Amino acid sequence: MTNNRRPLISGNWKMNLNHFEALKMVQELSYEVTRDDVDALDISIHPPFTDLRTVQTTLDSDKIPFFLGAQHCHSEKSGAFTGEVSPAMLAKLGVRYVIAGHSERREIFGESDELINAKVRAILAHDMTPILCVGETLEERQAGEAEAKVQAQLKAGLARVKAEQVAELVIAYEPIWAIGTGQTASAEDAQTMCAVVRSVVADKSGSDAAEAVRVQYGGSVKPTNAAELMSQPDIDGALVGGASLEASSFARIVQYRLHDL
Ligand code: PGA
């Protein structure tokens, strides 16, 4: 069955590439990505904060049709929060997508579901699109708790978000054991969990929101597995870490449609 959801392939650079390297990367990517690619799908890149202005001016001046993304933000507009960056600042830079609740933020920086929910609402309030990340650990998967974990993260993450806003969201299912490990979830397991995500959205926000929400898979997405993952009915995109740090591999993921299954 086909749907009207436009695929979104996102490159999360994490704490890699300074602003000179970012400039080079964006230019290389713009040579590799074709008009057909951008007609077929949305592409977002999520550099570190120190690169955002450089990437923004490059995208604007060279008319490169990638969406600017951020990896993180604070939930407040401004204030005494040393070291933090506000959603208002990101919106001013033309940022369109902001990752919220990445497992590295949850695990290394102790971000709670409540905090992530506040960020999701703040990102929406500034007319940007959150990419809300959810996913289970290996222990949770082995204990048969993957679905329950993702359900709980979604319920908390989407609290007090209106159905019409949920419809506009991106949710990334990222099993923690697959992130940066080279171990990808099988396309079948990824599909099962992305379908769970959609059914939680249906319960919470209704079938229109569930039909519209875009669900990405993340966790060791590579040029060699992107086509199979993207062929699954409930997978609408990919959140790519390691493989987005090389222009040619990210471009080949963007071009998954051209690969044989
Ligand atoms: P990876 O990271 O592609 O390097 O596994 C994915 C992510 O953390 O979003």
Mean pLDDT, all residues of the chain: 97
CATH of the domain at 16: 3.20.20.70
**22 located within any domain:** yes
Q: Give Cα separations from 150 to 8, 194, 198 (angstroms).
A: 21, 10, 11
Q: Give Cα separations from 142 to 146, 187, 195 (angstroms).
A: 8, 18, 19
How far is it, in rounded angstroms, from Cα 53 to Cα 161? 30
Burial of 192 (0-12, 13-18, 19+ CB in 10 A): middle
Catalytic residue numbers, as ranges: 102, 174
Give 79 Cα–ligand 1 centroid separation in angstroms: 31
Q: Provide the residue range defining the domain that includes 225.
A: 8-258
Domain count of the chain?
1
Tell me: pLDDT of 173 over 60. yes
How far is it, in rounded angstroms, from Cα 250 to Cα 28? 11
**17 located within any domain:** yes
Q: Which helix (H) or strand (E) holds 197?
A: helix 187-205
Tokens 């960020």 belong to residue: 119
**2 located within any domain:** no
| 179 in contact with ligand 1, CB cutoff 6 A | yes
**254 located within any domain:** yes
* Mean pLDDT score, 246-261: 93
* Mean pLDDT score, 224-233: 97
**42 located within any domain:** yes
- Ligand 1 atom closest to the Cα of residue 244 is 3
Q: How confident is the model at residue 1 (pLDDT cuts 50, 70, 90)?
A: low
Beta bridge partners of 172: 133, 216
**34 located within any domain:** yes
**3 located within any domain:** no
Give 214 Cα–ligand 1 centroid separation in angstroms: 18
Q: How confident is the model at residue 239 (pLDDT cuts 50, 70, 90)?
A: very high
Which residue owns the Cα nearest ligand 1 atom 1? Answer: 241
Sign of CA dihedral 246, 24, 74, 97: negative
- Using left for φ > 0, alpha for ψ between -120 and 50, and beta otherwise, residue 218 falls in beta
Residues shown for the chain: 261
- Ligand 1 atom closest to the Cα of residue 243 is 3
Give 179 Cα–ligand 1 centroid separation in angstroms: 5
Tell me: pLDDT of 87 over 90. yes
Q: Is-contact 98 72, C-beta < 8 A?
A: yes
